[in-house]
Structure 1
Amino acid sequence: MSTNKIILGIVTAAVAGAVIGLLLAPEDSKKTIKKLKKKTNELAGDLIAALEKSKAKAAEAADQLKKEGEAYAEEYAGAAREQVGNI
């Protein structure tokens, strides 16, 4: 299971729990809506931060793979040139 799916599942469960808790609380509806908006914004910010972190890690991994691929390509191209020269 990917990290993004885990994060999304945790955030979804937290939002659902917050919504249920606020809707069942014996408070004024305006207060409940304010709390719900505040919590939703906080969770959305956390989710965006986690996704940005995952995106940065994926970009780093892609750069590393590209460098490794270029190194292998250069190595095998050199080996191929040597084989052609030996023929």
Structure 2
Amino acid sequence: MNNNSNEFKIPRMRTVHEAAQELKEMDEHTAVTEYHIRRLALSGVLPRVQAGRKLLINFDNLIEYLQNPTSDKFQVHTATADDVNGIRRIN
């Protein structure tokens, strides 16, 4: 490949299960679970892509979030944050 400014990096998309396994391979003593990664994706903290029944996340975004969870990039809008499993607060 030539060094062109139009090149882009292909995102490392993983299912929640694959992301948890890869994270476990990187750090066998990690306390981050598959359930926690799924909650981050479903709550909107981590961007996700629905591919059929599979939930895909960008593994690099997960690592970035774990390094700096207070970054503005990972802040959720209040409408999404209040929405939990399809149930929303009625004011």
Greater share of helix: 1
RCO higher in 1 or 2 (8 Å CA, sep ≥ 6)?
1
TM range (shorter): under 0.3
* TM, length-normalised to structure 2: 0.21
Between Structure 1 and Structure 2, which shows a larger proportion of strand residues?
2
Q: Which has the larger radius of gyration?
A: 1
